[in-house]
């Protein structure tokens, strides 16, 4: 009974009544449904004859129930892709007649139960996509033929202790791809030492290193599929002289060197698939390749093979796909290829040095779907294009003439790339008939005239018309192409305003209008481009202000699941679509391969970090930027720009912006390039900008900025004076002009810098120090004031120190003090009372300070006696201002 893929949902117990009467049921398929639980024991007890049970790709999550382990007649069990986890149940060991067990694409972990050694009838075990280790006990499974472990991460080592070395059976199928193995080919030899009947071996996407294991092919003469791609194998390929049965051979993306052996076509004469791409193979192609008469697929791309293209390859009449791109071939494409390779579906010869004219016979190939001849030296006019072609790429050549009008007959065309040639004339209107066109690139030619308004193709996603001579306005009809992702019209002669119709391009991610003659202001409708990530309006005549609503655009904010820029799907996966299976019809392989190529690798050019660069592939999902430079924009820079937190490049240079730099720019935490040069900005550069740790280019030169430049910390320590030149009122490092006046605000900024540098709050430190000093001094003065004893000792100590260390200086001080006191008293009292008042004042001072003026007071007695006799004034002066020896 086969109920696969019928969207059956809910609990599988709903089918119990139906199974009750199916006592003779032997095969049951319930795969690819929406079931969420297993049948109970009661449901299974009437199915004792059941031999095949497929329950995979449902939503089971509670483990395999014990009821299934009672099906003693069961020979094949699959629960693949059913969200099961935890250890593998020991109950499986009860299924003594089990031959095929598929537990793949779950989350099982731990060690395979040792009791599996008792399943002597087991032939196939599929544990792909789990995290399971295999014990050496499986060496007793004499019937075991197939082991699949791909996707299990084994942390560099083998998942078992060499059970295959002592395995009593001969494996026919072994898949250990993508298992994170790190082993040499010497270890591989020990591992597969006793295996000589392998038919399928896949150890791709690991880290196998050492010389290519030629012995592997020699020992296993029945080997049909050998997949070792994406490892680190080196050396030459020398397969001996024995003709093998190998029909699928893939060692791409390794380090294979040297020339191909001359008789490789004889040794591998049964081959149907050969992929030696992404290695370091040199020399010329051996003529023996012509003996591979069954070959469907031949890929030698990305090597260093040279010479002319051999005409003998025209004998490969079954060939569907031929890829010799990224090598050193030269000369013309042999005409015999187009006469004999009638089944050729994909031909790739890009990135060589091929020359001459493209033969019209090439376009007579009836099944040709993919043609890539880019980056060569082909010349001449472009003839008609095959009506059944899907991908046509002749970019980077020397083609001339007009684009043929009958191109409109290729109604299956999905990708058309003619860039970097010398085509001239207008775009033919017949191009608008390509209803399936997804990718159109006519850039870097000499095309002229107006852009046809009929190019509003609903399927069009990527449109590149840059670097031509198109004139007129941007057609409104194109702006109704709702699926458009990239619109690149830069460096043409387009004029007029930016239409409000741009707001209808809701899926637009890249808009490049640089280097035209567009005028007017930015329409508010541009803010409706919620998915835009790259916007370049530079080098036009635009004016007005930046709409504040720019802050509402999701520049660089990727919505999960909406990555629209990819590497070519075939290149990105690392896997060939020719996966091994007995049920695969190899005649459909070429069509399947072409399907993977529909996702073209997008490439755009954008100015970041003060230089223009080409960005391609999935990096465009993460790149974001705005370039409005070299226009006539005025007004303030909106603070709302600071809301574009994921933006990486911002260029507003060469405009007439005024006001200050918004402090909100400090929120642009992913910004790598900021250019605000050649405007009329004033005020200080916000110090908060130093918090942008990703900034590598900063330019505010030729403005009217003032004050001190931001402190040279983090990224700002890498910017030199060129970032600030042309601002005469800026000062401080790295400029040569120092900041002379230190204002309160400047001091505060300086202290803040010190705090950041030394990890402490210096303002608080200075405040606490001053407070402590004042309190200590005040306490000392208070003690001296209220305690005469200590006051007397303190001043005696000071006077003694001064007299001892500086006797002349101390005496001079006393003379100066007494002169000042005498002068003050003599101006306020009669002459008869001067001496008395003077002695009284000094007595009060002495009483207060407890200072020992005894020697001087003895002289004051004489002074008081003489003070009342005016005639004795000279004696008083001599006494006061004469020698005073303090004792």
The DSSP string of 182-247 is: --BHHHHHHHTTT----SEEE--SS--EEE--HHHHHH-TT--EEE--SSEEEE-----SSPP---
Checking if the pLDDT of 480 tops 90, the result is no
Q: Are 764 and 877 within one domain?
A: no
Residue 260 domain flag: no
Q: Which of 170-184, 523-537, 754-768 comes out lowest in average pLDDT? A: 754-768
Residue 611 and residue 632 in one domain? yes
- Cα(119)–Cα(77) distance, rounded to whole angstroms? 13
Kindly state whether residues 537 and 674 are assigned to the same domain: yes
Buried b vs exposed e over 141-160: b needs ≥16 C-beta within 10 Å? beebbbbbbbbbebeeebbb
Look at 552 and 441; give whichever has higher pLDDT: 441
Contact 128, 106 (CB under 8 A): no
Q: Residues 473-479: contacts with CB within 8 Å, 24+ apart? A: 473/497, 473/499, 474/498, 474/499, 474/513, 475/450, 475/451, 476/501, 477/453, 478/451, 478/453, 479/504, 479/505
Angle of helix 762-786 relative to helix 788-805, nearest 10 degrees? Answer: 110
For residues 748 and 808, membership in a common domain is answered with no
C-alpha–C-alpha distance, residues 191 and 578, integer Å: 27
> What was the pLDDT predicted at 570?
42
Question: What is the CB neighbour count within 10 angstroms for residue 886?
Answer: 16
Specify whether 562 is located in the same domain as 506.
Answer: yes
pLDDT in tens, 662-720: 999 999 999 999 999 999 999 999 999 999 999 999 999 999 999 999 988 888 889 99
Same domain, residue pair 776 and 793 = no
Q: How many structural domains comprise the chain?
A: 3
If one counts every other C-beta atom within 10 angstroms of the C-beta of residue 510, the result is 25
Same domain, 652 and 562: yes
Q: Is residue 22 part of a domain?
A: no
Tell me what pLDDT residue 383 has: 82
Determine, yes or no, domain membership for 246. Answer: no
598 in a structural domain: no
Q: Check residue 391 and give its pLDDT.
A: 94
Q: Are strands 27-29 and 704-708 parallel, antiparallel or unpaired?
A: unpaired
Q: Do 718 and 693 form a contact (C-beta atoms < 8 A)? A: no
Task: Decide: 620 and 488 in contact? Cβ < 8 Å.
Answer: no
CA distance 437 to 431: 9
Top-confidence residue, 587 or 478: 478
Task: Kindly report the CATH number assigned to the domain that includes residue 555.
Answer: 3.80.10.10
The kind and range of the H/E element at 800 are helix 788-805
Identify whether residues 791 and 781 lie together within a single domain: no
Residue 214 covered by a domain: no
**Residues sharing a CB contact under 8 Å with residue 717, sequence separation 6 or more, in sequence order:** none
pLDDT exceeds cutoff 50 at 879: no
Whole-number Cα distances in Å, 844 to 143, 787, 810, 838: 124, 17, 21, 10
3-state DSSP assignment of residue 489? coil
- Whether residue 331 lies inside any domain: the answer is no
Q: Which of 293, 307, 251, 243 is nearest to 274 (CA)?
A: 251
User: 543: which strand partners?
Assistant: 632
Where among 739, 762, 796 does a domain terminate?
739
| 369-392: pLDDT as tens digits | 999 999 999 999 998 888 889 999
Shared-domain flag, residues 753 and 839 = no
Same domain, 872 and 759: no
Tell me, yes or no, whether 781 and 791 share the same domain: no
pTM of the complete model beyond 0.85 = no
What are the DSSP E strand ranges found in 9-106?
A: 9-10, 27-29, 34-35, 52-54, 76-78, 85-86, 100-102
CA distance 79 to 53: 9
Closest CA to 485 of 460, 465, 467, 502: 460
Q: Domain range for residue 770?
A: 741-785
DSSP one-letter code for 2: B
581: in domain? no
What's the rounded Cα separation, in Å, for the pair 108 and 88?
6
Within a domain: residue 511?
yes
Contacts of 34 (CB under 8 A, 6+ apart): 7, 8, 9, 10, 58, 59
- Token readout for 491 is 């460096």
Asked whether residue 749 carries a pLDDT value surpassing 70, the answer given is no
Sign of CA dihedral 363, 367, 371, 376: negative
| Better-predicted residue by pLDDT, 832 or 659 | 659
Task: Report, as an integer, the average pLDDT of 110-139.
Answer: 83
**Same structural domain for residues 509 and 627?**
yes
């Amino acid at each position: 009974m086969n109920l696969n893929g019928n969207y059956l949902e809910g609990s599988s117990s709903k089918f119990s009544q139906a199974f009750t009467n199916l006592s003779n049921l032997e095969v049951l398929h319930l795969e690819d449904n929406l079931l969420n639980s297993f049948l109970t024991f009661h449901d299974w007890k009437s199915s004792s004859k059941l031999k095949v049970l497929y329950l995979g790709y449902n939503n089971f999550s509670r483990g395999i129930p014990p009821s299934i382990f009672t099906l003693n007649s069961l020979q094949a069990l699959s629960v693949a892709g059913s969200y099961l986890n935890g250890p593998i149940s020991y109950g499986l060991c009860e299924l003594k007649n089990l031959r095929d067990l598929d537990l793949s694409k779950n989350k099982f972990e731990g060690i395979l139960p040792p009791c599996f050694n008792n399943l002597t009838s087991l032939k196939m075990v599929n544990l792909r996509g789990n995290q399971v280790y295999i014990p050496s006990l499986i060496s007793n499974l004499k019937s075991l033929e197939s082991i699949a472990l791909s996707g299990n991460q084994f942390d560099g080592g083998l998942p078992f202790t060499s059970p295959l070395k002592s395995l009593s059976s001969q494996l026919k199928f072994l898949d250990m791809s993508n298992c994170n193995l790190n082993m040499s080919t010497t270890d591989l030899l020990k591992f597969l030492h006793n295996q000589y009947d392998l038919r399928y071996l896949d150890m791709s996407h690991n880290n196998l290193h050492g010389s290519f294991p030629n012995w592997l092919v020699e020992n296993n003469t029945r080997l049909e599929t050998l997949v070792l791609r994406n490892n680190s194998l080196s050396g030459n390929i020398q397969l001996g002289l024995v003709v093998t049965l190998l029909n699928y051979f893939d060692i791409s993306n390794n380090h294979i060197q040297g020339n191909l052996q001359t008789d490789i076509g004889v040794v591998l004469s049964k081959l149907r698939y050969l992929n030696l791409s992404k290695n370091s193979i040199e020399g010329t192609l051996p003529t023996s390749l012509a003996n591979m008469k069954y070959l469907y697929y031949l890929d030698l791309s990305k090597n260093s093979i040279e010479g002319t293209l051999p005409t003998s390859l025209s004998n490969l009449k079954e060939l569907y796909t031929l890829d010799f791109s990224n090598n050193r071939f030269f000369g013309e494409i042999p005409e015999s290829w187009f006469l004999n390779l009638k089944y050729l579906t994909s031909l790739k010869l890009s990135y060589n040095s091929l020359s001459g004219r493209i033969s019209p016979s090439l376009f007579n190939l009836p099944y040709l779907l993919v043609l890539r001849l880019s980056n060569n030296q082909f010349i001449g006019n472009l003839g008609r294009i095959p009506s059944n072609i899907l991908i046509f790429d002749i970019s980077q050549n020397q083609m001339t003439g007009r684009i043929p009008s009958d191109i409109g007959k290729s109604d299956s065309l999905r990708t058309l790339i003619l860039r970097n040639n010398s085509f001239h004339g207008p775009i033919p209107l017949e191009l608008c008939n390509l209803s399936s066109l997804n990718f159109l690139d006519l850039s870097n030619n000499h095309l002229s005239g107006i852009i046809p308004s009929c190019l509003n193709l609903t399927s069009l996603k990527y449109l590149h018309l840059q670097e031509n001579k198109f004139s007129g306005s941007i057609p409104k009809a194109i702006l109704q192409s709702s699926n458009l992702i990239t619109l690149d019209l830069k460096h043409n002669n387009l004029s007029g305003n930016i239409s409000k119709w741009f707001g209808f391009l809701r899926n637009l991610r890249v808009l490049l209008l640089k280097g035209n003659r567009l005028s007017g202001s930015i329409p508010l409708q541009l803010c409706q481009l919620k998915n835009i990530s790259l916007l370049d309006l530079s080098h036009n005549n635009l004016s007005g202000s930046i709409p504040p609503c720019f802050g509402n655009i999701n520049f660089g904010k990727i919505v999960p699941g909406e990555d629209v820029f990819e590497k070519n799907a075939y290149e990105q996966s690392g896997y060939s679509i020719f996966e091994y299976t007995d049920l695969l019809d190899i005649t459909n392989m070429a069509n399947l391969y072409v399907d993977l190529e529909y996702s073209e690798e997008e490439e755009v050019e954008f100015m970041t970090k003060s230089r223009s660069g080409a960005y391609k592939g999935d990096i465009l999902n993460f790149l974001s930027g705005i370039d409005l430079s070299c226009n006539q924009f005025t007004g303030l820079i909106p603070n709302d720009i600071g809301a574009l937190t994921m933006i990486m490049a911002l260029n507003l240079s060469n405009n007439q912006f005024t006001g200050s730099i918004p402090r909100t720019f400090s929120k642009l935490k992913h910004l790598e390039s900021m250019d605000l040069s050649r405007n009329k900005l004033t005020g200080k550069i916000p110090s908060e900008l130093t918090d942008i740790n990703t900034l590598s280019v900063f330019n505010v030169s030729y403005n009217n900025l003032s004050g001190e430049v931001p402190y040279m910390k983090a990224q700002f320590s890498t910017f030199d004076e060129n970032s600030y030149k042309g601002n005469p009122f800026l000062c401080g490092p790295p400029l040569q002009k120092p900041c002379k006046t230190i204002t309160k605000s400047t001091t505060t900024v300086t202290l803040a810098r010190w705090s950041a540098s030394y990890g402490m709050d210096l303002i608080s430190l200075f405040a606490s120090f001053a407070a402590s000093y004042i309190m200590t001094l005040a306490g000392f003065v208070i003690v001296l004031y209220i305690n005469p004893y200590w006051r007397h000792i303190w001043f005696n100590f000071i006077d003694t120190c001064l007299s001892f260390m500086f006797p002349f200086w101390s005496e001079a001080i006393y003379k100066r003090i007494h002169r000042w006191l005498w002068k003050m008293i003599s101006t306020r009292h009669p002459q008869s009372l001067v001496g008395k008042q003077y002695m009284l004042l000094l007595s009060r001072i002495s009483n207060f300070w407890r200072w020992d003026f005894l020697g001087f007071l003895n002289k004051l007695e004489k002074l008081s006696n003489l003070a009342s006799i005016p005639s004795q004034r000279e004696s008083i002066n001599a006494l006061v201002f004469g020698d005073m020896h303090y004792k």
